[in-house]
Structure 1
Amino acid sequence: MAQLNQQEYNDHFRNSYETTPYYQQGRSWNDYEPAYKYGYDQYGANSGRRFEDVESDLERGWEATKANSRLAWSEAKEAVRDGWHRLERAMPGDADGDGR
């Protein structure tokens, strides 16, 4: 899959999630980590597809996947997308053909 292992991926987001535009004051790593993990796992499961093409499927799966996160899908979606695109950028070429 991606040329980025899960530990490097987690470390990147753990060190930067509080500076993202979607970060909500009062939320912790424990709220965001499941969203990034979901993005990581689902990118691999949907290889070659665009985030936008599977977004409704991801939304349906979030409640069962979010563990102890307090984020609703509307709050988690951008973190999942951010994680998805980080993996996509680690791939050689444009894996899903969307120019990102």
Structure 2
Amino acid sequence: MTLESRPPAINPTAEDAYWRDAYRREPYYRSELTYDDYAPAYRVGYTGPVRRSGEFEQLEPQLKDDFDRVRGKSRLRWEEAREATRAAWRRATRNEHPH
């Protein structure tokens, strides 16, 4: 496995803290929703690159299934959660998270 093909190292605690602070500034944010509504989507997004190999678009059906499995009491449906998941995926794959 080359360095480039290795999945990103993710610190779930740091990612959760980042999104808990940042979610209100995201373009898809809706003020009637809380962080608890978005959290499962973010979790699927930042853990996705560690668990799966490929691009977001090609893996979207599996990511949707992951979200549906872990969404709990979130009021989001996949169609609404997709952009939050994608944002967390992008952050994880760009290595923008603190190490």
**Interval of TM-score (by shorter of Structure 1 and Structure 2):** 0.7 to 0.9
Spell out, residue by residue over 1:39-61, the C-alpha distance to the aligned partner (whole angstroms, 9 max, x if none): 122221113x1101101222233
Using structure 2 for the length normalisation, give the TM-score: 0.81
- The correspondence of residues 19-98 of structure 1 with structure 2, limited to 5 A, is 19-47=25-53, 49-90=54-95
Q: CA deviation at 1:62?
A: 2.2
Query: How many residues of Structure 1 are paired with residues of Structure 2 in the alignment?
Result: 90
Q: Aligned equivalents of 1:43 and 1:31: distance in 2?
A: 21
Q: Aligned equivalents of 2:74 and 2:87: distance in 1?
A: 17
Using structure 1 for the length normalisation, give the TM-score: 0.80
Q: CA deviation at 1:3?
A: 3.9
Q: Percent identity?
A: 33
* Structure 1 residues 3 and 57: alpha-carbon distance in aligned structure 2, compared to 1, 3 A threshold: closer
Is 1:16 the counterpart of 2:8? The answer is no
CA contact (8 A) 2:10 2:47 kept: no
Any stretches of 5+ residues in structure 1 without a counterpart? 92-100
CA RMSD of aligned residues (A): 1.6
SS at the partner of 1:90? Answer: coil
